[in-house]
Structure 1
């Protein structure tokens, strides 16, 4: 039991460290500054850049001003940053390289239930339970089909005897 507690606490501490590191330095500030500077150097307004790149003005505005609630999530912002690099004539991967891959993990700190802490696909307990369930199902099916076969054979023998 202590081993389980240690393992779960270790994972929890690693998740908290990642969150703390991402809060200290926000790369999206730098991405917003690069986009804004490149847009100004090319003498483009947000509306013109939106027309050229086919990206909504609200998305460009949220990227430039680092509005976290309006900014698209990671897979979408990655493709948006690729388009912005092409439209603003920036070097490849200058913006995309700074983007942080965000995973939408539900808040595990509020989940104090024992069921939420088990990995049902990779734990040995579940593997044993699954194996036993398969074996018992095979025995039940085997018993059912064997009992039906014996009845059928007895009936055929009786019919031949007549």
Structure 2
């Protein structure tokens, strides 16, 4: 399935991105993503809020060998309202690679992340994610995610940048 990320608004401290199906179906319900001015994810619809905002990598660390740990609180809304969850993620930049994607050729840094998630029900793993970031773009050019849960086959997801259009 293809999903389009459409930038709806850019302000100094707020960027709004809507997820849409590339057909006549239009916007995906409750899918507005709100980022802060540095690219940190603050909110996904009415479903989840991140405090502090979630970043793929802290600023200024695009160099092979860089490592970081990030922690944030996720609170949920929009229905079932599961308990708040604390996420602790570890990341490292492991390589710089040339990628050819539908959106073009990029020389991107490959990052690997993973970690743990904690709530009132206990500890759970965070999906293992490999992210490729090109220094010239504020979003990943490719993301591979593997979600592993006991008793079910692993769920694998790949997102690739298919088009870049710059405004004037």
TM-score (ref. length: structure 1): 0.21
Higher strand share: 2
Higher helix share: 1
Q: Answer with 1 or 2: which has the greater Rg.
A: 1
Point out which structure has higher relative CO (alpha carbons under 8 A, 6+ apart): 1
